[in-house]
Structure 1
Amino acid sequence: MIGDLEELVTCESYSADLEAVARSAKVVGALGRRLLGAEPEYIVIDGVTHLRWSFGTPRVLMLGHHDTVWPIGTLRTHPWSVVDGVAKGPGVFDMKSGLVQIFHALAGLPDLDGVTILVTGDEEVGSITSRGLIEESARGLAAAFVTEASADGGALKTGRKGTSNYEVQVYGRAAHAGLEPERGINAGVELAHQILAVAALGSGATTVVPTVLSGGTTLNTVPAQARVGVDVRVPTLAEQARVDRAVRELAPVLDGSRLEVSGGPNRPPLETAMSASLFALAQRVAAALGQPELTEASVGGASDGNFTAGIGVPTLDGLGGVGGGAHADHEHVIVAEMEPRTALLRGLVQAVLS
C-alpha cells in the first residue's frame, strides 16, 4: 500500500492544472486496473478528467477525488517521505491515501458486482464539472462511502456543513475626494454597511463570513464600485435557504447606490440523519474486526459526500486516511492506520452488498 501511495503522491495533481490532473488520472487508472483487473471509464468534462469503474448493477458508490490544492512543484519543498511510520507529501492525507484504501479494500472482495467507483478531478475547486456525474452515479443507491480524510483522532464524518458562496457588488458614483466628495456616492461606505449586514446573518452553527474585498481606483477618488465575497456554512437545508433569501434581499443604505448579488448554494449539507444508519453499521463492522470503538464528528468543510446526501443517498464520510494537516504544511498520514481502515471499508461494502 505504501508503494501505491507514493506513486499517487509523487504524481502532482493541482486542480487548476488540467494537464497535471489528466496525468494523475492515468496513474490512478493504472492502480485500479492492476488491483481490480478492470479498465476505468475516463470522463473528461470541460478539460477535467474523472474516472469511473462500474461492476454489475450499482448498489454501492465508492467516492473520492484525485486533485489537490498543492501547486505543481510543491514536491520540491514538501517531498514524499515515510519517517517513523508517518507518510508525508502533497495530497497524502487529502486524499490520496483514501484512494489507495478504496482499491485495496475492493481487491480483497471475492466479487465486485454492485460496486461503482467514482474518482473526480475537481473536488478542491467546488466540483463544478463533476457534480452532475456524482449525482448521476449515486442516485438510487443503498450507500455512498466517501474516503475523504478522517476527522481528528480518526473519527468518521457523519455531518458536514453545506456551503454557499456569494459576491455582493456595490455601485456608487465617482467624484474627486478633495474637491467635491459630496457629488459622489461612496461605494466603499455602502460596502461597509453591507458587510455588517451580511456578517449579522450568522447564527448558531451557521457562519456567514465576508472574505475577499476590493474597491476604488485611486486614493483621491470617491470609489464608484466595490465588492465583497461571502463564505456561508450551514448545518441544514433550512438554514441554507434562510441565508440565501436574506442575502438576496440586501438593500442599499446610501441614496443613489445600487447592489448586485451573484452566487448561491454550492453544496447542500450532509445532515447527520443521512449518516446515522451507516455509522451504526460501521460500528458493528469495526467490533467484528476487533477494532477500537469508532468515533464520529460533524465538520465545517464540505465534500462530494454533500451531493450524495443531498439527493437522499445514505452517506458515510471520513473513511480515508488517519492523520492530519489537510491543505497545510504538516499534512501527513499515519501508516499503521491504513490497513485497519481498509479492512473497515471492505467490511462495510460486504455488509451492504449482502
Structure 2
Amino acid sequence: MDEPMLADLERLVRCESPSSNVSALHRCADVLAEIGAERLGAAPVRSEAGGKPVLWFGTDDPAVLLLGHLDTVHPLGTLAEVPYRLAGGRVYGPGVFDMKAGLVQALHAMAGAEHRDRAALLVTSDEELGSPDSRPVIEAAARRTGAVLVLEASSEGRLKTARKGVSDYHVLFSGRAAHAGLEPDKGANACVALAHAVLAIVDLADPLAGTTVTPTVASAGTTSNTVPDQASLLVDVRAATIAEQERVDKAMRALTSPVPGVGIELRGGINRPPLEPEASARLFALARQVAVELGSPLLEGAHVGGGSDGNITAGLGVDTLDGLGAVGDGAHTRHEWADVAALVERTRLVSRLVDRIVSGARS
C-alpha cells in the first residue's frame, strides 16, 4: 500500500467536483494543483475552458501526453451519503474510480519517470458532458505530442484498445394544438410524429456492425385534452467506425414527418469519433512488453461502447491508449471502487511506459 498515494487520493475524493458546478470544480482544481506541485515540484499552468478549470502539468513540448478529467457525475452532497473509505483492499467514494484515482496515478507516474521532462498531464473539467468546451484544448495538446495515454479507469484491468464513437441528437417536433375532444382534426399532432420517428430511428441500428441507435428521453404535450403541438426526443448513437457514424448522421438529417403540419428540427450530431484498434495498436504492444518486464500479469485489451477524450485524440491520428487508470468497477454509481494494490502497479506501468515512449521518440 502506497500511503502518500492514498493520502493524495483521499484529499481529491473529499473535494466533490460535479460537472455542472463551476465553483466546486475550481475548488477541486485547487486541491489537484497542490498535490501536483508537491509531487512534481512545480505548480501547473492554469487556464479555463467555458469557465471551468484546465490544468497543465509538465513540459510545453511533450513526447507523451497523459490525459484525464476532474469532473464527476455525482452531485454535491453525495460524499456525505457515500463517504471516502478503505475496506477489503478497495477504496470507495464518489468519483474514485472515474477518475480521481487515475489523476493521482498520473501525477505519481510522472514523478517517478526518468524522462518526466518530456511528459505532460492535461486535466480538463467537462469530459462527463462530452467535452463541449475543452475539446479545442485537447486537440491542440494532442497535435503537440506523438502519443497519448488516457488515465481513465478499467474494469478487470483491461486496457481500452478501442472505443465506439459517440453521436448525440435532439429531435424537436413542432405541430399545431387543438382541442382533443372537440376538433382534434384541426391539430397537427407532434406526439404522433415523434412515434413514427422513434420507429424509424431504431431501424438505423446495425447489430452486425456494432452500431447502436437508442431513443432515450421523449416528451410531448401539455395537457391530456390537447393535441400536442410540441414534442422532443433525445437519441444516443454508438458506432465502431466513422463510416457508420456518418451513415447514421446522414439518415438522421433526412428524417421527415409523415404527419401533415408537423415540422422536424434536428440538433446535435457526431460528438466523438471512434478510437479504432489501429490507433492503440503500437502503444498497447509496448504496454504489454512493459508489463512483462515489471513482472505484472499479461495485459488484456477490450473494445467498449463508452467514449472518452481518447476518442478525440485518436480521431486526430495520434497514437492513443486508454484505460490506464484505476482497476475496479462501478463507474457512475454510488458503489464505485478502485483496487488499492492496482493503484501502485498501474502507476509503475505508466511511469515505465512514459520512459519507453520518450526513449523511442529520441532514437
Q: TM-score range by the shorter chain?
A: over 0.9
Cross-structure match for 1:110: 114
Cross-structure match for 2:262: 257
The answer to whether structure 1 residue 29 and structure 2 residue 33 are counterparts is yes
Distance (Å, rounded) in 2 between the aligned partners of 1:91 and 1:320: 13
Distance (Å, rounded) in 1 between the aligned partners of 2:289 and 2:114: 21
For 1:239, what is the secondary structure of its paired residue?
helix
Cross-structure match for 2:15: 11
Structure 1 position 326, deviation (Å): 0.4
Which digits, 9 at most, give the CA deviation of each residue in 1:76-133, with x for residues without a partner?
Answer: 1100000121100000000011011111111112342221210111111111111000
The answer to whether structure 1 residue 271 and structure 2 residue 276 are counterparts is yes
Cross-structure match for 1:87: 91
Give the gaps of 5 or more residues in structure 2: none
Cross-structure match for 1:165: 168
The one-letter amino acid of 1:346's match is S
Structure 1 position 140, deviation (Å): 4.6
Which digits, 9 at most, give the CA deviation of each residue in 1:168-213, with x for residues without a partner?
Answer: 1112211111111111111111110001111111112111111111
Cross-structure match for 2:200: 197
Distance (Å, rounded) in 2 between the aligned partners of 1:168 and 1:137: 33
The answer to whether structure 1 residue 210 and structure 2 residue 215 are counterparts is yes
The one-letter amino acid of 1:113's match is D
The one-letter amino acid of 2:266's match is V
44-53 vs 91-100, which moves further: 44-53
Distance (Å, rounded) in 2 between the aligned partners of 1:246 and 1:285: 45
Distance (Å, rounded) in 2 between the aligned partners of 1:320 and 1:45: 24
1:51 aligned residue (52, 55, 58): 55
For 1:87, what is the secondary structure of its paired residue?
strand
Which digits, 9 at most, give the CA deviation of each residue in 1:290-339, with x for residues without a partner?
Answer: 11111110111111101100111000000000000001121001101111
For 2:121, what is the secondary structure of its paired residue?
strand
Residues 169, 266 of structure 2: 8 Å contact kept: yes
Residues 158, 271 of structure 1: 8 Å contact kept: yes
The one-letter amino acid of 1:197's match is A
Distance (Å, rounded) in 2 between the aligned partners of 1:46 and 1:144: 23
Give the gaps of 5 or more residues in structure 1: none
Residues 140, 313 of structure 1: 8 Å contact kept: no
Residues 109, 351 of structure 2: 8 Å contact kept: yes
Which digits, 9 at most, give the CA deviation of each residue in 1:6-33, with x for residues without a partner?
Answer: 0100011111110000000011111111
Distance (Å, rounded) in 2 between the aligned partners of 1:290 and 1:248: 52
Cross-structure match for 2:69: 65
Structure 1 position 142, deviation (Å): 1.6
Distance (Å, rounded) in 2 between the aligned partners of 1:118 and 1:253: 48
Residues 12, 100 of structure 2: 8 Å contact kept: yes
Residues 56, 113 of structure 1: 8 Å contact kept: no
The answer to whether structure 1 residue 2 and structure 2 residue 6 are counterparts is yes
Residues 151, 325 of structure 2: 8 Å contact kept: yes
For 2:268, what is the secondary structure of its paired residue?
strand
For 1:29, what is the secondary structure of its paired residue?
helix
Question: How does the TM-score come out when normalised to structure 1?
Answer: 0.98
Cross-structure match for 2:228: 223
Cross-structure match for 1:343: 348
For 1:226, what is the secondary structure of its paired residue?
strand
The one-letter amino acid of 1:81's match is R
Alignment of 1:112-191 (within 5 A): 112-150=116-154, 152-191=155-194
1:310 aligned residue (315, 318, 322): 315
Cross-structure match for 2:285: 280
The one-letter amino acid of 1:196's match is L
Cross-structure match for 2:42: 38
Number of residue pairs matched by the alignment: 353
Structure 1 position 45, deviation (Å): 2.3
Residues 206, 233 of structure 1: 8 Å contact kept: yes
Residues 61, 144 of structure 2: 8 Å contact kept: no
The answer to whether structure 1 residue 320 and structure 2 residue 325 are counterparts is yes
The answer to whether structure 1 residue 242 and structure 2 residue 247 are counterparts is yes
Question: How does the TM-score come out when normalised to structure 2?
Answer: 0.95
283-292 vs 107-116, which moves further: 107-116
